[in-house]
A and B are shown apart, each in its own frame.
Chain A
Amino acid sequence: TQLLEQSPQFLSIQEGENLTVYCNSSSVFSSLQWYRQEPGEGPVLLVTVVTGGEVKKLKRLTFQFGDARKDSSLHITAAQPGDTGLYLCALQGGGTSYGKLTFGQGTILTVHP
């Protein structure tokens, strides 16, 4: 079973600061997804990265997929209190099992006003 390691586990920052969250595996990813989960709610998909070296932007969020497809990062610029939540990376199962996700343990982000 391919395992994902996320770091840091906890991140507490002030509004306006930048931050980066990392997701690593010892094996090559076929595709990787990033989710955000707020307290009391389900995970919401932010992005799917597929190609090595790929960079995707979603407003103040920048997602990068490593060239070797074994790591990914999420960078948030000028964090806001609304960014507070649990950030999860996940591997999709192959073929018809694409909904069978393997999640990292997550990064709990708190942005203080």
Chain B
Amino acid sequence: NAGVMQNPRHLVRRRGQEARLRCSPMKGHSHVYWYRQLPEEGLKFMVYLQKENIIDESGMPKERFSAEFPKEGPSILRIQQVVRGDSAAYFCASSPGLGQGSSGNTIYFGEGSWLTVV
């Protein structure tokens, strides 16, 4: 059973460009979470999505950031007009529904996408 797959693993963008980060959850998982890890801030929750729905986006910056989890295909975290402060590791995690599956209420993290803005 493949784990949470993120791509690209490393992405370099110039200031003002767009960054798209993709996440394919574990097989059978319908819940996806995005986290950001900044050296000075640690690992912070950004957004929680289920298929075609944003459940909680309380950790998303108000501007330039968006996330989706379409009915078909991976979840996408999109950052428009990137700035140097967006340089960070972005982690996706997935889980089955509440109480479903042998893993219970456990989420599984991908290996991350490292964004560098130059």
What range describes how many residues of B lie at the interface?
Answer: 20 to 34
CB < 8 Å neighbour of A95 from B43, B91, B98, B111: B98
A40-B111 contact, Cβ under 8 Å, with A45-B106, A92-B105 = yes
Report yes or no: A42 in contact with B42, Cβ–Cβ below 8 A. Answer: no
- A40–B109 Cα distance when bound, in Å, is 12
Known interface pairs A43-B43, A97-B55, A106-B43; 17 further A-B residue pairs with C-beta atoms within 8 A, sorted by A's residue number: A41-B111, A42-B4, A42-B91, A42-B93, A42-B112, A44-B109, A45-B107, A45-B108, A88-B42, A95-B98, A99-B48, A100-B33, A100-B45, A101-B107, A102-B45, A103-B43, A105-B42
User: Does more than half of chain B's interface fall in helix, strand or loop, or is it mixed?
Assistant: strand
- A44–B107 Cα distance when bound, in Å, is 9
Report yes or no: A103 in contact with B105, Cβ–Cβ below 8 A. Answer: no
Report yes or no: B111 in contact with A97, Cβ–Cβ below 8 A. Answer: no
Please give me the residue from chain B that is nearest to A88 by CB atom.
B43
